[in-house]
Structure 1
Amino acid sequence: MGHGVGAVLISPRNGYTPFTARLCFDCTNNIAEYEACIMGLEAAIDLRIKILEVYRDSALVICQVKGEWETRHPKLIPYRAHIVKLMEYFDEITFHHIPREENQVADALATLSSMYKVRSHNEAPIIKVERIDEPVVCTSNDTSRSKNTRKTPRPVTRKP
């Protein structure tokens, strides 16, 4: 349904700040990877972060930005140049390649945004991911556990 990109800023105390966007233009996967990286860098700049470690699962983006690989594709050259300009906002910035399986949160955000049809700028549902350790309703035949033992009820959300 299109390209979605995701980035997650993780604080030194393991606080997660997710960002996601749907790319409403035709692009290659490599352009989408650059767009995701730039989105994360711009978010860090907006938050006035000065020391940043960037982890991406795109070897192409990481190796091109680090100068290990030459950027030859004419559509990718301006993307790399833009990242180099953004790097000036940081006192210290490093880039690291990680396997895709270690980048699950950003991947899930990208998948979500690629499937959600955005009609206007900044229009998106608020998404809260919770952990649920026990069922709302006991499904066992054990009558001694017939009532719900959860201490706080889960909020009920309905579509308008």
Structure 2
Amino acid sequence: MGKRLLLFALVILTGCKGTSQEEKKESANNETGKETFKVNKTDAEWRAELTDMEYYVLRKAATENAFSSELLDNKEKGTYVCAGCGTPLFKSEHKFKSGTGWPSFDREIEGNVAFDTDYKIGVARTEEHCATCGGHLGHVFNDGPSNTTGKRHCINGAALDFIPYNK
């Protein structure tokens, strides 16, 4: 009987989750609980403007298959912009070959990429999204080139369009 009572008490205590020690986060939420961005469109408008893959990556936070992006091996000089709204996100001079199967950059264009914490796979990851439209881009990791920033912005190619410098 004593063991059962102890087990019951342990289950109750571990099941209780207090919130007094949790960090309060401020967000750019409006009354509906959704983040607000400079570019806001309905789901139907996004669906009509984006390809299926762009829609699933940018609006549903999906991940394209590794090694499937046409931008993966792009070596042209230019700027990578958000496929949803055209905001400049990354410069070609900061792109590097990570071997992961996704376009990788060691830094973003400051102010144009926003960050959040993502727990979708059970561990905390830093998610990146377009600061203008909120489109999901990918994640940033601390295993990039040590001779620059040490960061690896692992970005879905479907979230990007490329604008060559000569245009």
TM exceeds 0.5?
Answer: no
Query: Which structure is higher in helix share?
Result: 1
TM-score for both structures, normalised by structure 1: 0.22
Query: Which structure is higher in strand share?
Result: 2
TM-score for both structures, normalised by structure 2: 0.21
